Amino acid sequence: MADITRRLGWRHLRGAPTAHIRHHRSGQTVHDGPGLSFWFRPLSAALSEIPVDDRELAMTFHARTSDFQDVSVQATVTYRIGDPAVAAARLDFSIDPDTGVWRGAPLEQLGTLLTETAQQHALDVLARTSLSSALVDGVAAVRERIAAGLGAEPRLPATGIEVVAVRVMALRPEPEVERALRTPAREQIQQEADRATYERRAVAVERERAIAENELASQIELARREEQLVDQRGTNARREAEEHAAADAVRAGAEAARAVRLAEAEATRTVKLAEAEAARSVRLARAEAEGAREVGEARAQAQAAWLRVHADVDVATLHALTGTRLAENLPRIDSVTVSPDVLTGLLARLGSQERA
């Protein structure tokens, strides 16, 4: 839509680059081109705005196949207005000089023309095609037929319209028919899934059997190796026992020889000690005998000398010496208790000695 500004009875129009503006005044073309900007008087101006950009026309319509089955077609036609002057002459693209809004609905007229033309060619091709073929190859066939039909339609160039592209997005039957058609495929898919499940289970069972066989083989091999290990351990134990027995025999022989050597050494040492002790005893006996003889001789000589000394001493001196020797040998007397009887006896004895 053109942008129109009001100024004191004048109008200023500014068009978009994708809009072709045609300005007529008094039957003469004043301005003609895309993206124009100019001033004009609304009372004497006739304005037209023709879009020249690519436009998408989506359409959905129903058709019937050769086996009387209804299908729905979803398609899109891309078109543009290639000759704005022709389009403006054939369709009403005039705009209000005050608001810039189309006075009519030219794009709806173009849409109706394109939709009916495309639908006519699609119906024609689907009417000679069965439902199964339409569902398999119908999209490409309908697209090619619509493109060829629109390209050969004389009304489109006469209106200034160019078809850029045709796309058919879907071609679907009615929901009940679609469900009925899906059932065999679903059954086949389910059968394939069941077959795959059975095969997977079979493979799993086979693998489990292989695993069980491998485990059994491993157990058998382990048992065989354990038997070999037990035999080897018995052989090692027997060999170790034989080696220990031989070592014990060698050790016993060595111990016996060592005991014999020790016994012989001990006997020799005992004999030597006995001989040494006997010799020492003989020497000690001789020394003791010699000492006793010398002590006896010394005592005899001392006794003889003592007797010779006392032979020349008087009796009183001998008595005194005897008392002295007796006193030396008596035990220590701390106190002496003299009873009257003892004192009387002593006095009587002293008296008798004095009288004598």
Which pLDDT score is estimated for 177? 84
Which pLDDT score is estimated for 263? 83
pLDDT digits (tens, 9 = 90+) for 33-55: 998 999 999 888 999 999 999 99
Across 239-257, average pLDDT: 86
48 within 8 A of 106, measured Cβ to Cβ? no
Which pLDDT score is estimated for 326? 67
Task: Name the E strands within 16-175.
Answer: 19-25, 28-34, 37-40, 45-51, 55-64, 70-81, 161-173
34-43, 174-183, 207-216, 222-231, range with the lowest pLDDT: 174-183
Is pLDDT at 199 greater than 80 in this prediction?
yes
Residue 298 pLDDT level (bands cut at 50, 70, 90): confident
pTM (global) more than 0.75: no
Is pLDDT at 297 greater than 60 in this prediction?
yes
Is pLDDT at 354 greater than 60 in this prediction?
no
Is pLDDT at 338 greater than 70 in this prediction?
no
Give the chain's mean pLDDT: 85
Q: Which is nearest to 174 in space by CA: 162, 182, 185?
A: 182
Q: Which is nearest to 85 in space by CA: 13, 4, 153, 29?
A: 29
Is pLDDT at 185 greater than 60 in this prediction?
yes
Say which residues have a Cβ less than 8 Å from residue 161's Cβ, sequence separation at least 6. Answer: 79, 80, 81, 82, 87, 110, 113, 114
User: How do beta strands 55-64 and 45-51 pair?
Assistant: unpaired
